[in-house]
Amino acid sequence: MLDLKYVVANAEAVKQNCRDRNVPAAVIEDLDRAVALEAERKAAFHRVEETRRRQNEVAQATGKERDPVKRGLLVEEGKQLKAAAAALEDQLRKLDAGIHDRLRRIPNLTHPDAPIGQTEDDSKEIRTVGVPRAFDFPVRDHVEIGKTLDLIDFETGGKVSGTGFYFLKNDAVLLDLALQQFAMNRLIAAGFTPVITPDLARNSILEGIGFTPRGVETQVYSIENTDLSLVGTAEITLGGMLADTLLDESALPLKYVGLSHCFRTEAGAAGRASRGLYRVHQFTKVEMFAFTTPETSGEMHALMLAIEEELFQALGVPYRVLDICSGDLGGPAYRKFDLEAWMPGRGAAGEYGEVTSTSDCTDYQARRINIRYRPAGQKGTRLVHTLNGTALALSRAIIAVLENHQRADGFIDVPDVLRPYVGKDVLGRR
RNA sequence: GGAGAGGUGGCUGAGUGGUCGAUAGCGACGGUUUGCUAAACCGUUAGACUGGGAAACCGGUCUCGGGGGUUCGAAUCCCCCCCUCUCCGCCA
């Protein structure tokens, strides 16, 4: 959520930002409406405050008054004020709600260096690292590899849980666990505090982080008869950890690395590019999350990107880095970098596919979930900045490892860095 | 799941209808004393929103887990929810 005062003072710039970010026209109309309502709200607010001030005054005077007649008069005035206040407060509540509902649909501002554009094709490739391997044998995709080596079972997943679910078996289990430990250890070495988070969270937390649990297009699984939902990412639980917290500046930055399962309905996403493990309803993810001062969030964003790159370099997987364009940013992101890993089995002759994403959300989430800090040597408090980044999404990392390290004999070489965790050098051998 | 006890400021902890945004202690910050440190003493010390002012500063409203209610007036009484602790039950 943006600061309402900022929106009012910079309405044109915020509108242009909305257009750049490809939000529906209705949101821009909402913005105008919110700005208009704010003037009304302010007036209503002053009326309510004035009434309450008088109420407090009368109530205090009543307590001190010993003369029964005068006291009776004060009580009478108090009753009238009470009725008046109720009506005014009701009006104010409606205005507040009207503004808030509209304000929360407005996306975050956009980093001046982020490319402006409407679709993912407008995102800017910053660099390509590693060279896709030349295979001297027919390349198999991870679905075929998974089936041949009895590593991934989509059919049984479908039978037991439905399309989009799968069973990992045999060495794929070792690979999954190894990747988790590998990522965790790298992040711990970088000073991140490891956390295993709940896989369910309250809807209020989901909303604070910027997810919408309800509605037709929701990507979120909700638990019936509760106010809980399955998390789509540990970003929700990691960010929620510090909801309603006032920190000392000396505590910042706070860096966490969380492990959780992730659940996504992926409504309407079936089809072409989502074969196999690429787009599934459940996967495991190692996620980075940081709370920083406003001055240092850019630096932290660079650190997260560097860590993501380091992880994929270590796994021997070629990738490219994208600076995501305005129109393809999610609501809370001020700037976002994606890593796309080379997946030799994807498409006709291999394609890059998204494996990580790191966003600087500035104060957009912090304002909603109320995370502040006291600046050292200054009065008052400021909102923190929040950032998140994928360390490893297991499902997609598994695709990248299986497809890039497949061998002519059909087995899979284990990347050196994973061997201590996997406990073997080659996957799939019986 | 059942029974009971609780949730108060950065922390601990008083406060059972008006003078309470709140006693006290700790911590932190500023000062006095001091060769330095410690101790002692004095003072300051919640947040959000908002009015006036160039500012220093001076006002107002809200917040005692959250939401509703009773009342002229609620930290205090009532209802619902959330959370914590103890005991019992169940359970990996």
Q: Kindly state whether residue A108 falls inside one of the protein's structural domains.
A: no
Residue written as token pair 């590899």 = A145
Q: Closest nt to A76 (CA→C1')?
A: B72
Half-sphere exposure of A350 (CA within 13 A, CB side): 19
Q: How many Å from the CA of A202 to C1' of B66? A: 14
Residue A415 CA, nucleotide B63 C1', distance (Å): 56
Residue A133 has what pLDDT? 94
Which pLDDT score, from 0 to 100, does residue A430 have? 78
Per-residue model confidence as pLDDT tens digits over A127-173: 999 999 999 999 999 999 999 999 999 999 999 999 899 999 999 99
Asked whether the beta carbons of A264 and A414 are under 8 A apart, the reply is no
- Strands, E assignment, A237-395: 245-248, 254-263, 282-292, 319-323, 335-343, 351-360, 371-374, 382-383, 385-393
Residue A246 placed within a domain: yes
Q: What is the DSSP letter of A380?
A: S
The pLDDT value recorded for residue A270 is 60
Q: For chain A, first and last CA: distance in Å?
A: 54
Q: Distance (Å, rounded) from C-alpha A66 to C-alpha A46?
A: 32
The Å distance, CA of A250 to C1' of B34, is: 31
CA distance A401 to A342: 10
Task: Looking at the structure, tell me whether residues A218 and A309 fall in a common domain.
Answer: yes
How many structural domains comprise chain A?
2
- Same structural domain for residues A409 and A292? yes
CATH number of the domain encompassing residue A416: 3.30.930.10
The tokens for A172 are 């794929």
d(CA A187, CA A173): 21
Instruction: Indicate the length of chain A as a whole number.
Output: 430
Question: Where in the sequence numbering do the catalytic residues of A fall?
Answer: 264, 279, 354, 357, 396
Name the CA radius of gyration of chain A, rounded. Answer: 27
- In this complex, the nucleotide whose C1' atom is nearest to the CA atom of residue A80 is B72
Return the residue matching tokens 């915020």. Answer: A14
| Torsions phi, psi for A21 (to 5 deg) | -95, 10
Protein-proximal nucleotides of chain B (any atom < 7 Å from a CB): 10, 18-19, 46-51, 60-62, 72-73
Residues A68 and A179 grouped into a single domain:
no
> Could you say which residues of chain A have pLDDT below 50?
none
A252-281: pLDDT as tens digits: 899 999 999 999 988 766 665 678 999 999
Question: Do residues A216 and A277 both lie within one domain?
Answer: yes
Nucleotide nearest to A380 (CA to C1'): B47
Q: What is the CATH number of the domain that holds A16?
A: 1.10.287.40
Q: Which residues touch strand B (CB under 7 A)?
A: A 5, 42, 45-46, 48-50, 52-53, 55-60, 62-64, 74-75, 78-79, 81-82, 246, 372, 374, 379-381
